Structure 1
Amino acid sequence: MAESYKKKRYAAIISPFTTSILHYRKPFVVAWWAASFPGFGHFMLNKYLTAFILISWEVIINNAAHLNEAIYLSMIGRYGDAMEVLDQRWIILYICMYVFSIWDSYRLTIEMNKHYTMAYRDNYPIIIKNTSSLEMNLVDKKSPILALFWSLLTPGLGNLYVTRILSVIFILTWWLIITYQANVYTAIHYTLMGDFSHASQSLIPQWFLFIPSIYCFAAYDSYVSAVEINKLIDRYMSRELKEKYQDLEFKMPL
C-alpha cells in the first residue's frame, strides 16, 4: 500500500510531446506573471487547459471592454477619452477573472511546492514514455541561453527547442493572432522603409499592449524550462547510477 501511495506523487512526466516538471517555484513570481497576463501563472504550473481558458477569457473580455485601448489613452494623458472608451458592461466581469487568476495561481503554487517536497523525498519518481510514431522527446540537456535566444527571435521557438510542444501550440498561436491583429508586421515593414510615422500610426494599441507580456513570458518560460530539464536529467542519472551501477559494498567517503 505504501509503495502504491508513493507512485501517485510523480515529480515529472516525459511524453513524446512535452516535459512536465514539478519543481519549486516562488508563489509571488507565479502570481506576478498571472497579473501581467491572466493564464500565464497556470501555464507555468503545466495546467494547460486552465491556462487556455483564462488566456482566451483575457483576450476576449479585454477586447470587449476596450481595456488596453483605455490604458494606452491614459498613458498619453487622454484620461477623459480613456474613461469614455471603456465598456462598463464588460469591465467588472474582467476584474473578477483577473483577481481569480492571480489568487488561484498563487494558491496552486504553494500546494505544488508541497507536492514537490514529498515527491523529492520519495526518490523523485518519474514517468518516461518519450517515443511515439509522431514525435520523439530525447531526454538530453538543453542550453538555457539557446532557448532564450530562439524565444527572443520568435516566441515559441525556445519551447520547441526544449520539446514542449503543448507550450509551442499555445504561445505561437496566440503570438501570431495578436501580432497580426496589432499590425506589427506592417509597422515593421514601414520601419524598415524608414517611414516611422506610418509605422506608429499602423499599430493598433488595443492588440499591441498584449505583446510585451507574451514576448517576455515566452523568453522566461523557455529559459526556466531548459534549466529545470537539466536539473531533472542530473537527478535521474544520479539515481540510475546509484541503483543500477554502484557496488553495494562501496563505502561513501565521509
Structure 2
Amino acid sequence: MILNRRKRESSVPRRPLSHLSQYGVTHLYRKNPLMVAWWSAAFPGFGHFLLNQYARACLLTLWELFINSFAHINEAMLYSFCGDFKMAKAIINPQWVFAYMLIYLFSIWDSYRSTVEANKLCELAEMENARIDGFIIRPLGIQYLEKKSPLSAAFSSFFFPGLGQLYNHRFGLAFYAMFSYCIYIGLSHAHEAVIMMMHGRIRESTAILHPHWLLFMPSILGGSIYHAYISAVEHNRLFRIEQRQFLAERYGFTDSSTIFH
C-alpha cells in the first residue's frame, strides 16, 4: 500500500510547465524582468498579468483605479505636462498620494522579483520535462493547444482590449479587460469625442473629454496588445514542446536536451 502511494506521488510532476483548464492555458515561460517591471510602472498589476498571477493583478489594477481617482494623479500629470505646475500642486490630494506611491513602488519591485524567481522555476520545469497535456474536455468547455498568430492576437487587442486574450483562450482575463475598457470609454467620453472630431467639431470634442479616465486608456490598450502578442508567441512554443514530447514517446527518441529548443 505504501509502495503504491509512493508510485502515485512520483508520477505527479513537482514543477509542471503548464496547466490546461476550461478557463485557459496557464504556463511558465522566461520573461525579461525589466520588461515586466516596466509594465508594472505603466499600470500597476500589468506586470503580474504577465506572470499569470491573475488575482493579484486584478486587485492591483483596481487599487490603481480607485486610489488614482481619489488622489487625482492623472489630472496632476496632465497639468504638469502642460507646464501648469501650480494647478497640478493644487489639485493633487496629499492624503492619498503617499499610500499610492508605496503600493506603486512595491508593485514594480514585486513584479521584478517574481519574474526572476519564475525564470528559475521555468528552467527547473524544463529540466523535469513533465508531460504536457494538449487537450482536455470539461463540462464548461473544451481546451486545447493550437498554433496561433501573434499578429492576429495583437490586432484583436488593438481594436478592443481583451479580444486578443479571448483569441488566446484566456476567457476570464479577456472579459475583465473588455468590461474595464468599456467603463473607461464611457467615463472618458472618448467615442463621443471621436465622432465629433470626424464631423469637424474639434473644440466640442476636446471639451467633452474627461482627462482623468482618458489617461488610463493608452496603458490599457498597450498592455493588452503586448500581453496578447507575447502570450500567442509562448502558446506556439508550448504547442511545439508538446508535439516534440509526443513524438519522442511515440518513436523512442529520448534525448530531452532538444525538447525546449
Normalising by the residue count of structure 1, what TM-score does the alignment of the two structures yield? 0.92
Structure 1 spans left out of the alignment, 5+ residues: 249-254
Match of 1:65 among 47, 61, 71: 71
Shift of 1:50: 0.3
Q: State the alpha-carbon separation in 1 of the partners of residues 220 and 134 from structure 2.
A: 30
Match of 2:259 in 1: none
Q: State the alpha-carbon separation in 2 of the partners of residues 236 and 26 from structure 1.
A: 24
Match of 1:148 among 127, 148, 154: 154
Match of 1:116 among 101, 112, 122: 122
Match of 2:56 in 1: 50
Q: Which amino acid aligns with 1:62?
A: N
Normalising by the residue count of structure 2, what TM-score does the alignment of the two structures yield? 0.90
Greater displacement, 108-117 / 122-131: 122-131
Q: Which amino acid aligns with 1:25?
A: K
Mapped pair 1:78 → 2:84 = yes
- 1:129-188 CA-partner distances (Å, limit 9, x unpaired): 632233222321111111111111111111111111122022112111112111111112
Shift of 1:196: 1.5
SS in structure 1 opposite 2:19?
A: strand
Q: What is the CA RMSD across the aligned residues, in angstroms?
A: 1.8
Moved over 4 A (4+): none
- 1:197-254 CA-partner distances (Å, limit 9, x unpaired): 1111111111111111010010000010110000001011101111123478xxxxxx
Q: Does the 8 A contact of 2:31 with 2:115 survive in 1?
A: yes
Q: State the alpha-carbon separation in 1 of the partners of residues 93 and 82 from structure 2.
A: 20
Identity of aligned residues (%): 36
SS in structure 1 opposite 2:26?
A: strand
Number of aligned residue pairs: give it: 248
Match of 1:126 among 126, 132, 139: 132
SS in structure 1 opposite 2:172?
A: helix
